[in-house]
Chain A
Amino acid sequence: MGASVLRPDGALKVSGEFAYSSDLWLDGMLWGATLRSPHPSAWIRSIDIGPALAMPGVYAVLTHEDVPGEKFYGLENKDQPVLAIDQVRYQGEPVALVAADHPETARRAADAIVVTYGEREAVTDPRVALERRMLVRHQPVRVGSTFSADVVVTGEYEVGMQDQAFLGPESGLAVPAEDGGVDLYIATQWLHVDQGQVAPCLGLPPEKVRLTLAGVGGAFGAREDLSMQIHASMLALRTGKPVKMVYGREESFFGHVHRHPAWMRYEHGATLDGRLVYVKAEILLDGGAYTSSSPAVVGNAASLGVGPYEVDNVHIDAYGTFTNNPPCGAMRGFGAVQACYAYESQMDRLAAACGLTPVEIRIRNAVSQGSRLATGQVVDTPAPLAEMLRDLDAMPLPESVSRDLRDLPGGVGQTTHGDGVRRGVGYGVGIKNICFSEGFDDYSTARVRVELLGGEPHVLVHTAAAEVGQGLVIIQAQIARTELGIDHVTVAPADTQVGSSGSSSASRQSYVTGGAVKTACEAVRERIEKDGRPLEVILQDGPIEETREYRHRRTFPMDPVTGQGDSHTQLALCVHRAVVDVDVELGLVKVVELAAVQDVGKILNPLALEGQIHGGTAQGLGLALMEEIQVRDGKVLNPSFTDYLIPTILDMPPMQLKILENPDPNAPYGLRGAGEPPTLSSTPAIAAAVRNATGLPLSRVPIRPQDIALA
């Protein structure tokens, strides 16, 4: 524990040898394809599958009529049809399925299906949806009654629709089983919640839908909702053959939910010396066509809407809307990202209004252990935000403007040799809830078995927890080695043959599945200690196996009127400083350096942890400067990596990191989830740095070149 043990999948992924879900193969398998709606909102008048069925090589063409069980599924509400029934509510909604002996044939057959649509008005402006009360959730927060102050700053902010942009598109293989069930090999974030949604739609009991995790090429929230799981299973059960489905890149943009775009209005009141008196906020998050995880996203935006600051008077309304835009749901940071961009922008405005530095205004209002959040929840574990900010501020600043094109705004595009380039520095602070909140029964299960193999004790760790690239497999092995003192540890493939581990989401797996593995190991150790004989002798009687569930502290719902409640179990902080060079004439930005301080409670694997902080920071950089799904009238304009830009190595600068270890006594080893917090704070830090360089208000991310150049 605490060592940079290399993960088993690392070298394979770098060398291109790792087997992803898209590499799955069985002889005789068929290929599935999906026909999707071209319209954001329409009635379906008729579907003619005849032309598709007539094509050679086509084995099955299925519509909603062929769904064997329940017709609807969903993470929080079962409101999403497996296949559209009488209407479509977003562009890209699945309408029909094809299985054929070749992927190209399947796609062409899908195109041959004739669907007659009756287009109708699409509601694509969430402000209109709010007026019409088309709401998935409204969560107020009400504290205190003083809403006037000596210094008042207001601002309206907008966050574009970000995509998780994982590299491995949705894919999996469904294999019909002799018992009438199906074995599904799938890249997902939570096997059991998939099983719980797939089985009813197939009309099967859960035990007949067995899932095994296939190689996952990134997730970031986009694999929380189902994509092709039910579809491939339906095709496999209908044809009696294994069916593989792999989305292409363009289809992937329609095949998963995105980060909610947000429109936010904030008002901060403070004393003349910069101490917060009140915060008022309206946060509008567009959830698109279906519920997905919007309710929980809205909950986070509300409960964390003022950020990690002490303020006695709070008036927040957070709304999630239904529209005919692409469905939005989970993405790294989960509702806390959007609010963080707005409240941090406000803190900078407040600093300017009070004549304070950005660091000083934050230190004056920073939470610490014992502070009360806007929800009334007391921060009962270390939260050394002021110290973190001082540490960050003390880090050395990078050198002056470089002359190498690769270090200048515009890169090798050579738009400047230094002409028009100004440097800016900005700060951002974020607070993120770790693990599921608001009363969710959030647990994980681990089975640990010790046995003799070749005369030596071996440990087998079995959980259903999804390795999505975050490095969980090696963490589980490290925990088992540490707890049992046995070198040979194997982590079994994740599947549904063991109890649920919950989702690889909310930065929770080291905490919850780590806790489950630790607890199961302790149970095994207890048996060994009680026995008293040497381990090798005990194991000659047979293996020792223990299965344990692990739960974090209970959380409670937010009051629907006041937002009050101990809704979170753990809170994590990250602070960023961004240094940018901006070509103020052309509006191009080069991020020169990002520095971060994060408190993780306990470092389990330094290399993996730094990777998480770098990656989260990069994803925040993407949101600040380039990543946006452009939607017009409900239609996606840029469903490709040609036009949906994510940062390259020339965009992501070197980082200075300082990682603190102030343990959380409630968590295993005192650890604190680490994957999400850096995604929150890097975006506002970069936006602030660009403001600092340009003097422009820049109230929208991503910041586009024209926002600077034509301001």
Chain B
Amino acid sequence: MDFLRPLTWAEALEMKAERPDATPIQGGTDVMVEINLDKGRPTALLDLAAVAELAEWTRDNGTVRLGAGVSYTRLIAELAGDLPGLAQASRTVGSPQIRNRGTVAGNLGAASPAGDSHPPLLATGAEVEAESVRGSRMIAITDFYRGVKRNALEPDELIRAVRIPVATGPQYFSKIGTRNAMVIAVSSFAIAFDGRRVGTGIGSAAPTPRRAPEAEAFLESALDWSGPLDADVARRFGELVRDAAAPIDDVRGTRDYRLHSLAVMARRTLTWAWEDHLRCA
């Protein structure tokens, strides 16, 4: 196994162009586990930890550009106000040690349906900034997930950053685990209000993370933005979120429970967001 360690972003892109087979590694919280478990052996590792510019974030025109090397710990400490949904999701990732090393970009690179950052990225309409020696492009988050642990990156591309709109309304993330910390999601859900649009994201309940478009459309027509939340609307929203999922039975939970829990989480997070909305209005 070759170990490549670029010191600059330009160098990283050149190496990736030369070695499209190289597996990028940042915090190593996914890649190293796979290697330790002997689940496939990369021909080369491209270690991005020394690329300083990746570990930065900036805010511009209502969007946070989150560098691929910003850890969950920093995201929670520095961006909880701008990106509340993503910060809530980050709080549920692994243990403190994992959050010190793991990154949102790493979550995207692995593209596991159970990754915790995906639902808030979907709910907020984030974009993935992918780059190669050929240039840079923005990939809409809804186009990014292509299958179980597959994403839309070309072999020579690396994730430079994730662009996430700064929150303009309430956001919530909710995740089921069978213990109260350090657990992989059985199912998860994110909601984000942006003006009178409501975004959604479902995790761990389909081959890829996904939105619930019908649930979103339903809310846009059914919500009375000036009054209290109609309980029937909240319940119907939960059902539509549930119907958008396609979960399986596995060692972490059953299909039926995943469906049930999504309906409950969607209803509850909408209720909480609505309370915030009314408070602010």
Q: Say yes or no for B179: interface residue by CB 8 A criterion.
A: yes
**Nearest-neighbor residue (CB-CB) of A646 within chain B:** B179
Q: B182 contacts A648, CB within 8 Å?
A: yes
Q: Say yes or no for B264: interface residue by CB 8 A criterion.
A: yes
Which listed residue (A412, A626, A647, A705) contacts B92, Cβ 8 A?
Answer: A412
Residues of B within 8 A of A590 (CB): 180
Q: A638 contacts B178, CB within 8 Å?
A: no
Those of A655-711 within 8 Å (CB) of chain B: 704-706, 709-710
Which listed residue (B175, B251, B271) contacts A413, Cβ 8 A?
Answer: B175
Residues of B within 8 A of A630 (CB): 251
**Nearest-neighbor residue (CB-CB) of B275 within chain A:** A417
**A640–B37 Cα gap in the complex (Å)?**
10
B243-281 interface code vs A (CB 8 A; 1 in, 0 out): 000000001111011001100110010011000000000
Which listed residue (B180, B252, B261) contacts A411, Cβ 8 A?
Answer: B180
Q: Contacts A412-B92, A415-B265 given: A705-B176 contact, CB under 8 Å?
A: yes
Q: Say yes or no for A145: interface residue by CB 8 A criterion.
A: no
Q: B257 contacts A588, CB within 8 Å?
A: no
Q: A412 contacts B257, CB within 8 Å?
A: no
**Nearest-neighbor residue (CB-CB) of B252 within chain A:** A643
Q: Contacts A107-B38, A419-B268 given: A414-B88 contact, CB under 8 Å?
A: yes
Nearest-Cβ distance from residue B40 to partner chain A, whole angstroms: 14
Q: A626 contacts B178, CB within 8 Å?
A: yes
A524-568 interface code vs B (CB 8 A; 1 in, 0 out): 000000000000000000000000000000000000000000000
**A649–B186 Cα gap in the complex (Å)?**
20
Q: B175 contacts A586, CB within 8 Å?
A: no
Those of B170-218 within 8 Å (CB) of chain A: 172-186, 188
**A630–B182 Cα gap in the complex (Å)?**
19
> Which of A411, A590, A709 neighbours the largest number of chain B CB atoms within 10 Å of its CB?
A411
Residues of A within 8 A of B182 (CB): 648
Q: Say yes or no for B91: interface residue by CB 8 A criterion.
A: yes
**Nearest-neighbor residue (CB-CB) of A411 within chain B:** B180
Which listed residue (B184, B185, B254, B271) contacts A706, Cβ 8 A?
Answer: B254
**Nearest-neighbor residue (CB-CB) of A641 within chain B:** B182
Q: Say yes or no for A167: interface residue by CB 8 A criterion.
A: no
Q: Say yes or no for A24: interface residue by CB 8 A criterion.
A: no
Q: Say yes or no for A650: interface residue by CB 8 A criterion.
A: yes
**A650–B91 Cα gap in the complex (Å)?**
14
Q: A642 contacts B264, CB within 8 Å?
A: no
**A588–B185 Cα gap in the complex (Å)?**
13
Nearest-Cβ distance from residue B247 to partner chain A, whole angstroms: 12
Nearest-Cβ distance from residue A3 to partner chain B, whole angstroms: 34
Nearest-Cβ distance from residue A107 to partner chain B, whole angstroms: 7
A379-417 interface code vs B (CB 8 A; 1 in, 0 out): 000000000000000000000000000100111111111
**Nearest-neighbor residue (CB-CB) of B259 within chain A:** A710
Those of A69-99 within 8 Å (CB) of chain B: none
Q: B176 contacts A643, CB within 8 Å?
A: no
**A417–B253 Cα gap in the complex (Å)?**
23
A626-642 interface code vs B (CB 8 A; 1 in, 0 out): 10001000000110101
**A107–B272 Cα gap in the complex (Å)?**
52
Nearest-Cβ distance from residue A322 to partner chain B, whole angstroms: 26
Q: B176 contacts A588, CB within 8 Å?
A: yes
Residues of B within 8 A of A416 (CB): 268
Q: Contacts A413-B92, A414-B172 given: A710-B257 contact, CB under 8 Å?
A: yes
Q: Say yes or no for A593: interface residue by CB 8 A criterion.
A: no
**Nearest-neighbor residue (CB-CB) of B33 within chain A:** A642
Nearest-Cβ distance from residue B143 to partner chain A, whole angstroms: 28
Q: List 21 A-B contacts (CB under 8 A).
A: A411-B177, A412-B88, A412-B91, A413-B174, A413-B183, A413-B188, A414-B92, A414-B173, A414-B175, A586-B176, A586-B264, A586-B265, A588-B176, A638-B251, A642-B184, A647-B179, A650-B179, A651-B179, A705-B178, A706-B253, A709-B260
| New contact pairs (5) apart from A412-B180, A648-B182, A651-B179, CB-CB < 8 Å | A413-B92, A413-B188, A419-B268, A704-B178, A705-B178
